[in-house]
Amino acid sequence: MSILIDNKTRVIVQGITGEQGRFHTGLMLEYGTKIVAGVTPGRGGQMIGRVPVFDTVNEAMKFCQADYSIIFVPAKNAMAAALEALESGLNIVIITEHLPIHDAMMILEEARKRKLTVIGPNCPGIITPGQCKIGIMPSDVFVEGSVGIISRSGTLTYEIADNLRRNGIGQSTVIGIGGDFINGLNFEEALSSFEKDKKTKAVVMIGEIGGDAEERAANFIKKKFSKPVIAYIAGKTAPEGKTMGHAGAIISGNTGTYLSKITALKKAGATIADTPWHVPDLLKKINPGIK
Amino acid sequence: MNLKEFEGKELFEKYGISVPRAVIAGEPGEAYKKALLLFGKAGTGPGSGKLFLKAQLKSGKRGKSGAILECKLSELKKTFSSLLGKNFGGEKVRQIMIAEKIEIKKEFYLSISVDRYRRCPVLLFSDAGGENVEEQIKANPQKGHKLYLSINGAFPEERLQKLFNSAGCNQREAKETLKIANKLFLLFKNEDASLAEINPLILNPEGKFYAVDAKVVIDQEAIFRHPELEKRVTDGMSVLEKRAGKFGLAYVELDGDVGIIGNGAGLVMSSLDMIEVKGFRPANFCDVGGGASALMMEEALQLIRTRKKLRGLFINIFGGITRCDEIAEGLVSYVKKNKFNYPLLVRLTGTNAKQALKILKSAGIKAHESFNEAIRHSSNFKNET
């Protein structure tokens, strides 16, 4: 089992004729993802490999049903693309970087109304190893297993998943929720899905400074999450008031600090990893047989 | 992008929110002339006849730090000169606003910002306006009245009017505040603001409301919809940070003595943290992002190297969309042209790492595959001065 996506998930790619869209469609197909159609306005009728391209999501959906859309559309047009997908009833993964905050709010309000899932923006996507990848992450660092990963950082996810793989530990599902000021699926929602998933035996949470998503996740862990959680938080030494590469990674006054996050997580019973490479050992300490 | 008070007030006026009469000046003679023209010899009419001199800065808390002074027109030049050029938290005073003083009957706080958790706009209102409003609300949460708004739906007029009533406004005041809130929300939406704050919102004895201060933050990512602001984006950035932006790199200056280059914000932050555990302090960092080319890597190296007296440079790449061979080529090409008089600590893994390690080896550059191992070798930095 897994959460959100599996080998039956059918996917549309929006922005499929762009350089990124085309390249990653190839890699996702290679991984085994069921990509059923692509969308680029004005490019309907073309083929990208074996994938037919349509002008609109609506037309694509008439041709074939789908569950998710992955959006590679540049920031200026990403909101229109996302709303189009939501109106067709699709869950979405927004890879696009530099999406304006107001556009993100519009998308997320629409998704909330329709009870659809949004992952991202500015994220690497989601992968259920061995079954389905809707994203841009390097496939070979992820292997099938029983640890769920939720993360605000792309490369740090690869780093930690790779460390797990080298220690014989695989993943049930890995979600990059994105590094923007606001994002769709959050830690709590992902945790609540992992709680219900029988295959997931433990969760690794990769957070960073800025905002209070980790503190809220801690609160959720305390009340409603029964599985072990290992947390790694980046930005221990980040100074106040500097945007640390991610739009959302900024300490403002006393909020968003490393200390506040690890204190809350520790109190909730999570184990804190001081370095990315301590995560496998900590998992094995809690559950020696974990794979 | 934090707007200065006068820029925020320009937006307030555009949306019909009243602000006190004011002029902006950069030197005392100009200040006096403009103030005389606007206010006349008697000062500001009803009230004390005093003026406010307000340093135009991007940082807040100006009242506490002495960036806002009070004086009569006759003392204007002297007071102006005492404020001009002063340094507040690294920001130098170049422009000063001379504003009329509004008499206070009641003081309020009104803002619209983005709630990160609920992913929607949030209105915050309090009858405790002024400098300490945040602390007051924190200590006394019922002082802060909150309402979450729909970015796309109708403005909840009835609920807001009730909110203003229960926050200590009488019927007429609540009605007026509602009008102002409506305008502020329009501004928030149309201008892509992440914060639009009026603090204080003052009601004078004649029953008129004034936005006495303005704090507006515009979302940098939405500048393509506001070309008039394009030039201001780089305000307050250093020359190097501006240059990095042109190349699609994120460059940040810090105060230590080890340079750091990495791909992805999380991995870069983690690299800074791990370097500090080893007893060093990062001097600056450059995030080359996803899919960096050899040329971008060279530019990143150039940016880091502008900092003098480094003890070392740590390069940490986990190739996903980023190809390690591109990074290696950029590094080798740069090292051939430029000398580093401190150690380079290189860690490369992921996409095309094998080719990358070969490229580096042939140029005599040692590289590690594991983050942990690389960090252990950071002790090399110590030997240099």
B221, A235: Cβ pair inside 8 Å? no
Domain count, chain B: 3
How far apart CA A283 and CA A166 sit, in angstroms, is 13
Considering only CA atoms, which of A29, A108, A122, A176 is closest in space to residue A38?
A: A29
Q: pLDDT by residue (tens digit) across A17-64?
A: 998 899 999 999 999 999 999 999 999 999 999 999 999 999 999 999
Q: pLDDT by residue (tens digit) across A70-100?
A: 999 999 999 999 999 999 999 999 999 999 9
Instruction: Tell me if residue A246 is catalytic.
Output: yes
pLDDT at A243: 82
A100, B192: Cβ pair inside 8 Å? yes
How far apart CA B203 and CA A129 sit, in angstroms, is 61
pLDDT at B384: 47
A100, B151: Cβ pair inside 8 Å? no
Final residue of a structural domain among B100, B122, B148 = B100
pLDDT at A248: 81
Catalytic residue (one of A24, A102, A246, A278): A246
Backbone angles phi, psi at B241, to 5 degrees: -65, -35
pLDDT at A178: 94
Final residue of a structural domain among B229, B250, B270 = B229
Does B185 lie in the same domain as B202?
yes
Q: Where are the domains of chain A?
A: 10-119, 137-286
A208, B265: Cβ pair inside 8 Å? yes
pLDDT averaged over every residue in chain A: 95
Considering only CA atoms, which of A214, A205, A289 is closest in space to residue A256?
A: A214
pLDDT at B308: 85
What percentage of chain A reaches a pLDDT higher than 90?
90
Does B134 lie in the same domain as B62?
no
Residues of chain A positioned with their CB less than 8 A from the CB of B152: 106, 109-110
Whether chain B has a CB inside 8 Å of the CB on A242: the answer is yes
Q: pLDDT by residue (tens digit) across A164-173?
A: 999 999 999 9
How far apart CA B227 and CA B214 sit, in angstroms, is 22
| CATH classification of the domain holding B72 | 3.30.1490.20
Does B354 lie in the same domain as B249?
yes
How far apart CA A152 and CA A122 sit, in angstroms, is 9
Does B377 lie in the same domain as B273?
yes
Residue A51 C-alpha, separation from nearest chain B C-alpha, in angstroms: 22
pLDDT at B237: 72
Does B343 lie in the same domain as B268?
yes
pLDDT at B239: 82
Q: Are A126 and A69 in contact (CB under 8 A)?
A: no
Does B267 lie in the same domain as B175?
no
Does B124 lie in the same domain as B93?
no
**Who among A137, A156, A216 is closest to B117 (CB)?**
A216
Residues of chain B positioned with their CB less than 8 A from the CB of A182: 114, 116, 119
Q: pLDDT by residue (tens digit) across B239-275?
A: 888 888 888 899 998 989 999 999 999 999 999 999 9
Considering only CA atoms, which of A173, A231, A211 is closest in space to residue A6?
A: A173
Q: Are A230 and A279 in contact (CB under 8 A)?
A: yes
Q: pLDDT by residue (tens digit) across B323-354?
A: 899 999 999 999 999 988 899 999 999 989 99
Catalytic residue (one of B5, B7, B109, B251): B109
For residue A239, whether the previous peptide bond is cis, meaning omega lies within 30 degrees of 0, is no
Q: Which has more pLDDT, B360 or B246? A: B360
Give the structural domain span for B307. Answer: 239-383
Residues 199-218 of A with CB under 8 A from B: 206, 208-209, 211-213, 216
Q: pLDDT by residue (tens digit) across B41-75?
A: 765 554 457 899 999 998 777 888 889 999 988 89
- Assess if residue B6 is contained within a domain: no
How far apart CA A75 and CA A261 sit, in angstroms, is 31
Q: pLDDT by residue (tens digit) across B119-147?
A: 999 999 998 877 777 777 777 777 789 99
| CATH classification of the domain holding B137 | 3.30.470.20
**Over residues B354-363, mean pLDDT:** 95
B119, A182: Cβ pair inside 8 Å? yes
pLDDT at B385: 45
For the entire predicted model, the pTM comes to 0.93
Does B375 lie in the same domain as B244?
yes
**Over residues B183-189, mean pLDDT:** 98
Does B373 lie in the same domain as B254?
yes
Instruction: Tell me if residue B197 is catalytic.
Output: yes
Does B179 lie in the same domain as B164?
yes
Residue A109 identity (one-letter amino acid) = E
- When scoring A27, A31, A102 by the number of chain B Cβ atoms within 10 A, the one with the most, hence best to mutate, is A102
pLDDT at B45: 53
Residue A124 C-alpha, separation from nearest chain B C-alpha, in angstroms: 10
Final residue of a structural domain among B67, B100, B133 = B100
Cβ-based burial of B41 (10 A; exposed 0-12, middle 13-18, buried ≥19)? exposed
Does B211 lie in the same domain as B127?
yes
pLDDT at B236: 66
In terms of CATH, what superfamily is A10-119? NAD(P)-binding Rossmann-like Domain (3.40.50.720)
- Assess if residue B60 is contained within a domain: yes
Does B312 lie in the same domain as B251?
yes
CATH classification code of A137-286: 3.40.50.261
User: Cβ atoms within 10 A of the Cβ of A147, count?
Assistant: 29
How far apart CA B259 and CA B303 sit, in angstroms, is 10
How far apart CA B346 and CA B100 sit, in angstroms, is 59
pLDDT at B360: 96
Counted across chains A and B, CB pairs separated by less than 8 A come out at 153
B269, A136: Cβ pair inside 8 Å? no
Q: pLDDT by residue (tens digit) across B307-316?
A: 888 999 999 9
Q: What tokens does B159 get?
A: 């609920």
Residue B266 C-alpha, separation from nearest chain A C-alpha, in angstroms: 5
A136, B321: Cβ pair inside 8 Å? yes
- Assess if residue B290 is contained within a domain: yes
> Residue B201's pLDDT band (boundaries 50, 70, 90)?
very high
Q: Which has more pLDDT, B129 or A123? A: A123
Backbone angles phi, psi at A38, to 5 degrees: -125, 160
**Over residues B4-16, mean pLDDT:** 96
- Assess if residue B16 is contained within a domain: no
- Whether the per-residue pLDDT at B376 is higher than 50: the answer is yes
DSSP B320-340: SSS-HHHHHHHHHHHHHHS--
